[in-house]
Amino acid sequence: MLHADGVTKRFGTAVALDGLSLDVAAGEIAGLVGHNGAGKSTFVDVVCGLLRPDAGTVRVGGRAPSAARADIGVAPQHIALYPSATAAEHLALFGRLAGLRRRALAAAVAEVVDALLLADFLDRRVGLLSGGQQRRVQAATALLHRPALLLLDEPTAGADPQTRESLLAALRRRAADGAAILYATHYLHELADLGATIAVVRRGRIIARGTSAQLLAGLPSEVRLRAEGADEVRVRTTDPAGALTALLDRAPGTLREVDIRKPSLDDLYRSLAG
């Protein structure tokens, strides 16, 4: 659904994207992770057509972003709503801009109001809503017209657990219905919750891409063992069973605690993104 090939974007002498290539299939949730300034937001802006790349190509369902606007839903990193309009007015406006009318518009609005728990503040001006409530409205405007490609740039920054859970659940449903989702975040546990594939960006390039299982394979686990009368032993190893057996053989006294910590997405991030 999304195909990006060799995308380069410079701001003056700063290179924000340096030949970034990435594919996201229909039905896939791809997590875009990387340090501050790695290029995630710039890439999202290029894919939705807000920025024009200096080199490389982006295709959304085979078309240039400018020709695929109706197929794209975007929730930018910074809140981009009209403070003096209500949440309901935003949904009506965004729905109409996407070509929805009457019953189709009402059904689409009802769905996102329900999915993102907007009912309690639908008629309040967005400028008076809390940051988390504004994020929910923004995500709703992205989801409303059931786009084939969803671009979400840190949509849960500062969100409470209920907001986060409702958004993640809505995204899982959309992916199950066939949407391709690009999800930029620093919250790696959300990507695990979403069953997302991972793309790690560093200095404007993808440096690792795959399922979390693929990317975690080969990273060491940590084996920890504590026996009576001895100091705790910690070993980092790609063969935790073998290491544990060897440690148990050598353990001097009664065993008190044994723990194997498998590698996490945080370990992956630390090993790659530094």
Ligand X SMILES: Nc1ncnc2c1ncn2[C@@H]1O[C@H](COP(=O)(O)OP(=O)(O)OP(=O)(O)O)[C@@H](O)[C@H]1O
- Rounded to the nearest whole angstrom, what is the least distance from the CB of residue 42 to ligand X in the complex? 3
Q: Tell me if 185 contacts ligand X by CB under 6 A.
A: no
Q: Tell me if 254 contacts ligand X by CB under 6 A.
A: no
Q: Tell me if 11 contacts ligand X by CB under 6 A.
A: yes
In the numeric block, which tokens belong to residue 167? 């958004």
The distance from CA 231 to its chain's CA centroid, rounded to whole angstroms, is: 41
CB-nearer residue toward ligand X: 11 or 82: 11
- How far apart are alpha carbons 23 and 154 in whole angstroms? 19
Judge contact between 187 and 161, C-beta under 8 A.
Answer: no
CB-nearer residue toward ligand X: 87 or 200: 200
CB-nearer residue toward ligand X: 31 or 95: 31
- Rounded to the nearest whole angstrom, what is the least distance from the CB of residue 26 to ligand X in the complex? 25
In the numeric block, which tokens belong to residue 122? 């639908």
Report, in angstroms and rounded to the nearest whole number, the Rg of the chain calculated over CA atoms.
22
Which segment (9-17, 169-177, 220-228, 250-258) binds ligand X by CB under 6 A?
Answer: 9-17
CA neighbor of 40 nearest in space, from 87, 88, 7, 86: 7
- Rounded to the nearest whole angstrom, what is the least distance from the CB of residue 50 to ligand X in the complex? 10
Site for ligand X in 58-77 (CB under 6 A): 77
CB-nearer residue toward ligand X: 14 or 213: 14
- Rounded to the nearest whole angstrom, what is the least distance from the CB of residue 67 to ligand X in the complex? 24
CA neighbor of 191 nearest in space, from 213, 207, 176: 213
Q: Which residues contact 103 (CB under 8 A, 6 or more apart)?
A: none
CB-nearer residue toward ligand X: 85 or 157: 157
- Rounded to the nearest whole angstrom, what is the least distance from the CB of residue 14 to ligand X in the complex? 5
- Rounded to the nearest whole angstrom, what is the least distance from the CB of residue 36 to ligand X in the complex? 3
- Rounded to the nearest whole angstrom, what is the least distance from the CB of residue 237 to ligand X in the complex? 32
Cα separations (Å) of 12 from 172, 202, 222, 268?
Answer: 39, 19, 45, 32
Residue 158, strand partner residues = none
- How far apart are alpha carbons 143 and 131 in whole angstroms? 19
The binding track of 74-113 with respect to ligand X, each residue x by CB under 6 A or -, is ---x------------------------------------
The binding track of 13-52 with respect to ligand X, each residue x by CB under 6 A or -, is -x-x-----------------x-xxxxxxx----------
In the numeric block, which tokens belong to residue 70? 């109706």
Judge contact between 94 and 145, C-beta under 8 A.
Answer: yes
Question: Which chain residues interact with ligand X by CB under 6 A?
Answer: 11, 14, 16, 34, 36-42, 77
